[in-house]
A and B are shown apart, each in its own frame.
Chain A
Amino acid sequence: MDLKYSAEYEAFREEVKAFLENNWPLKGEEAKLRRHQQQALFRQRAVEVGYLYRSVPRQFGGSEQPADVLKGQIIREEFGRVRAPVELPGVGTAMLVPTLLQCGSDWQKEYFIPKTLSGEYLWAQGYSEPNAGSDLASVKTRAELKDGKWLINGQKIWSTLAQYARFMFVMVRSEPNAEPRHAGLSYILVDLKQPGVTIRPLKQITGGEEFCEVFFDNAETPEDWIVGKPGEGWAVSKATLSHERSALGGASGSVSLFEKLVALAKSVEINGEPAIVDPTIRRRLAVLDGYVSSHLYSSYRQLSMSVNQQDPGLVTSMNKLISTNIGHDVARLARDLIGDDLMLSPPQDRKKEDGNEKWINQFIGSLGIAIAGGTSNIQRNVIAERGLGLPRE
């Protein structure tokens, strides 16, 4: 057992540090560019030296590095330290690109991946429907092949940022008579900028508009914009490449959320004194630290095991639920720390001068995390049946 990195990895860390020293923030004339241009320029350089999009081949705009979870971790640590831009967030880079790499055809990879990585193509995920949420296999949106094109009719819902997206990867029913139900599904790509598509943003509980309803009314997509074969949609959507991101993403998110909570406790007052000196608050923070630290060391263990081709077992199915639970706990403590600011509306765009009401976004947003990407009850079903081996319902 050793929590230090070997000399080889420490040397790699020095390389990363030196790169960052020279490249972020940008200098001279480049520092005058607009922020997103600066970020794009930096990302391009980070890809060239092999630090971002490591599992994506060079020909598709990635840096094509051998899989190495520890290097991935060092890159995240060092980029995080100087707040350098990391891989673009969103379902395009996180879900579509890995899916295409594993199941897509050559032209699909060439056509979609480079521009997705550069941020030119934004994607939306079209899985959920009004009557198909947790029960994804009951998707009804129809796709029929007619004159060399897919004709799409139906409705998707809760599709995050679809109003800004150029394309959507959509789960459709292409084989209406197939049994079991999920054998009738296909995974197709659709250009959202066409007359047959109507997008209506939905106002969320936070007051913002981040997810949308998407209506398909004889929308079209070319026959070869299907990933995998007709009827393989279920399997394609489950395909995930062995990702450097792995378990650590979740745990390091929990750690930084907890650090922000401690900072909040230092900045607000209870009875005229910093809340952090209040014995009850200290106790509650320490109790939460027990869960957060457990999650962190558990992620170290999972990371080390996957580097050594071992199976961490049961705990891998638990990571989302653990992060969600920590989010709920943070929300409860933040609620008590911000006092009457609990009665304020949350700010819609993040600004430096935001007050404690910004925590309302976490207080409510922690519920979104509990629902999106598989609800906590669905997580429990999976842990029970696949993790603990309890009988299926």
Chain B
Amino acid sequence: MNFLLSQEQVEIQRAIAGFLSKSCPSTTLHEIYDREEPYEPSIWQGLIELGVGALIVPEAFGGLGMEMIDLALISEVLGANAAPVPLLGHALVTLAIMHGGSDDQKANWLPKLAAGEVVATVAFDEGGQTWLPEQWRLSSSTRLSGRKRFVPHGMQANLILVGLSGGGFALVDASAEGLSRCAQDGIDRTRPVAEFVFDQVVADPLPGAEGLAEKVRDAALVLLAADSFGGASRAVESAVSYATIREQFGQPIGRFQGLKHQLVNTAVEVEPSRGLYWFAAHAFDHIAGKAEHAAALAKAHLCDRYLQTARDTVEAHGGIGYTWECDVQIYVKRAMFNFAFMGQPAVHFDRAADLAGW
């Protein structure tokens, strides 16, 4: 048994963290956050150059042929830095095409995805928390009509994977006739969302494969869990480091036992759950019988922990924590996105209970 990262994995995490600390430090993050269109292509481009886009793409299509755990480890780092990049959509579209695309679709899109020549995203929710494949109603045909909401980086993407009734998928070009896109006023400006209305839009259906929709769903859950672990850990770290420099009553506030114990309690909520997303990511590729359950539990537990932790760390910062200029506000909002996107923890706790076989 070796439940451990390889040296290579540790180095990839370090490289991504190093890149982000240079290309997107707190000041840059805030500057992007406050733009009319909160997006900076050069950061995503830099990640593409580091191989993030190619990571899970098979070698035959110009990729690195790596696994979900590698992608999840990168997600953790992006979460820790609240990186304003479209990884989630990119990863899910890549997976869907890898496992359910036709030979032509693979040959056409996978090399472009690997090289970052397209920005890709997913359109799943149709309103009223309809995130899961069995809830999609958009009818499968080569002409799509209907509505999708909360499409991450929907205004920036040029390739869209649309979830269809019966758990099918179709690819749509963002400039296709009949597609109108409208930016939503999303809370998490690191992953801006858009609403799409389809009116007889030409689509390219994926032939699909057994269990494809479930695989895409589980990948989303694992990546959100990993992002949440990264974000929650960083939120705790920043509250701890603030407690060592901020002084009141003539001493660092971190010396007061009340605050000390609050910080310990948040840390104890977060730190042990690293392995929960590791296991879910590992099971995704290697332990078929446990993958679904592990993904549901990881998403539910970690997105739940992240939101509560982020709220607690606002309180630990005092007034500065309640300002727009403080980093923790960005984490609270990323946590709100992670909490709701693909279904709230309650939904996945209930699925986990069913999948546990109780």
Residues of A within 8 A of B (CB): 1-5, 9, 70, 73, 262, 265-266, 276, 279, 282-283, 285-287, 289-291, 293-298, 300-301, 303-305, 307-308, 310, 314-315, 318, 321-322, 325, 377, 380-381, 383-384, 387-393
Given contacts A3-B286, A298-B273, 19 further A-B contacts (CB under 8 A): A3-B1, A3-B2, A3-B279, A3-B282, A286-B349, A289-B353, A290-B276, A290-B352, A294-B272, A297-B279, A298-B275, A301-B3, A304-B2, A315-B271, A318-B271, A325-B268, A387-B267, A388-B240, A388-B267
Name B17-55 residues within 8 Å CB distance of A. Answer: none
- Decide: B3 and A283 in contact? CB cutoff 8 A: no
- Decide: A297 and B275 in contact? CB cutoff 8 A: yes
- Decide: A380 and B261 in contact? CB cutoff 8 A: yes
Cβ 8 A contact of A383, one of B4, B267, B273, B287: B267
Q: Which residue of B lies closest to A321 (CB)?
A: B268
* B346 cross-chain contacts in A, Cβ below 8 A: 283
* Interface check B264, CB cutoff 8 A: yes
Residues of B within 8 A of A (CB): 1-6, 69, 240, 243-244, 251-252, 254-255, 257, 260-261, 263-265, 267-268, 271-276, 278-279, 282, 286-287, 297, 300-301, 304, 346, 349-350, 352-354, 356, 358
Cβ 8 A contact of A262, one of B257, B275, B304, B358: B358
- Cα distance A314–B236 in the bound complex, in angstroms: 12
Q: Which residue of A lies closest to B283 (CB)?
A: A3
Q: Which residue of B lies closest to A319 (CB)?
A: B272
* B358 cross-chain contacts in A, Cβ below 8 A: 262, 265-266, 276, 282, 285
Cβ 8 A contact of B2, one of A2, A287, A388, A392: A2
- Cα distance A387–B272 in the bound complex, in angstroms: 13
- Cα distance A380–B272 in the bound complex, in angstroms: 15
On whether A384 and B275 interact (CB within 8 A), knowing A4-B1, A279-B350, A293-B297, the answer reads no
On whether A391 and B244 interact (CB within 8 A), knowing A286-B297, A286-B349, the answer reads yes
| A302 CB to nearest chain B CB (Å) | 9
On whether A290 and B252 interact (CB within 8 A), knowing A301-B3, A380-B260, the answer reads no
A to B CB contacts below 8 Å, 19 in the list = A1-B2, A3-B286, A70-B1, A73-B1, A265-B358, A282-B354, A285-B353, A286-B297, A286-B356, A289-B353, A290-B349, A291-B272, A300-B1, A307-B2, A322-B272, A383-B268, A384-B254, A390-B263, A391-B254
- Cα distance A168–B245 in the bound complex, in angstroms: 46
| A190 CB to nearest chain B CB (Å) | 36
* B286 cross-chain contacts in A, Cβ below 8 A: 3
- Cα distance A279–B353 in the bound complex, in angstroms: 9
- Decide: A391 and B3 in contact? CB cutoff 8 A: no
- Decide: B301 and A291 in contact? CB cutoff 8 A: yes
| A260 CB to nearest chain B CB (Å) | 14
Q: Which residue of B lies closest to A388 (CB)?
A: B240
- Cα distance A286–B264 in the bound complex, in angstroms: 24
- Decide: A297 and B278 in contact? CB cutoff 8 A: yes
Cβ 8 A contact of A304, one of B1, B243, B260, B352: B1
- Decide: A298 and B353 in contact? CB cutoff 8 A: no
- Decide: A301 and B274 in contact? CB cutoff 8 A: yes
- Cα distance A101–B268 in the bound complex, in angstroms: 33
| B347 CB to nearest chain A CB (Å) | 10
- Cα distance A300–B257 in the bound complex, in angstroms: 31
* A304 cross-chain contacts in B, Cβ below 8 A: 1-4
- Decide: A390 and B4 in contact? CB cutoff 8 A: no
On whether A390 and B240 interact (CB within 8 A), knowing A298-B273, A314-B267, A384-B263, the answer reads yes
- Cα distance A273–B282 in the bound complex, in angstroms: 37
* B356 cross-chain contacts in A, Cβ below 8 A: 286, 289
| A42 CB to nearest chain B CB (Å) | 27
- Decide: A1 and B282 in contact? CB cutoff 8 A: yes
- Decide: A2 and B1 in contact? CB cutoff 8 A: yes
| A266 CB to nearest chain B CB (Å) | 8
| B279 CB to nearest chain A CB (Å) | 5
- Cα distance A391–B349 in the bound complex, in angstroms: 38
- Cα distance A384–B267 in the bound complex, in angstroms: 9
On whether A377 and B261 interact (CB within 8 A), knowing A301-B3, A390-B243, the answer reads yes
- Cα distance A364–B214 in the bound complex, in angstroms: 43
| A118 CB to nearest chain B CB (Å) | 32
* A322 cross-chain contacts in B, Cβ below 8 A: 268, 272
Q: Which of A1, A262, A305, A387 has the largest number of chain B CB atoms within 10 A?
A: A1
| A300 CB to nearest chain B CB (Å) | 4
Q: Which of B297, B304, B353 has the largest number of chain A CB atoms within 10 A?
A: B353
